[in-house]
Amino acid sequence: MYPAVGDHEIGDNPWPSNQPKWQMFDTFKSAWARNFVTGWGRRNKYDERPVDSAFENTAYATYLTPDVLLATMDVFRRTATGVVPSVHGAQLTWLRRLLTGTTAQTVIV
């Protein structure tokens, strides 16, 4: 199983800024990461991830076989007015580097 963070795991959309689930956004993401990616105090399961970014523990990539690469993305970013979907900054740079450097025949994002 290779889980990816989705809206249901982080409170479900919409996330208006006046709602408790908007305030708990980081808590939802941390809980998801602990249960699926980082473990409880252990290191990240996946070496390939957008290190030193807000998505370091919620996005990752792994080879399912030598010819199949799976990359999960965290498209959820909290703003002052809610949560917006986007892939930007360090996560986008990581994805570009990953896709440029792979020799996999099949890539699943």
Which tens digit of pLDDT belongs to each residue from 35-54?
999 877 677 899 999 999 99
Which tens digit of pLDDT belongs to each residue from 49-69?
999 999 999 999 999 999 999
Judge contact between 24 and 41, C-beta under 8 A: no
Does residue 18 have a pLDDT over 90? no
CA atoms within 13 A on the CB side of 58: 24
Please tell me the pTM assigned to this model: 0.90
Which tens digit of pLDDT belongs to each residue from 19-38?
999 999 999 999 999 999 98
Q: Where are the domains of the chain?
A: 7-108
Judge contact between 98 and 71, C-beta under 8 A: yes
Which tens digit of pLDDT belongs to each residue from 74-95?
999 999 999 999 999 999 999 9
Judge contact between 82 and 17, C-beta under 8 A: yes
Query: Alpha-carbon distance 2 to 37, whole Å?
Result: 9
**What was the pLDDT predicted at 43?**
79
CA-CA-CA-CA dihedral for 22, 23, 24, 29, to nearest 10: 70
- 36: Cβ contacts below 8 Å, ≥ 6 apart: 3
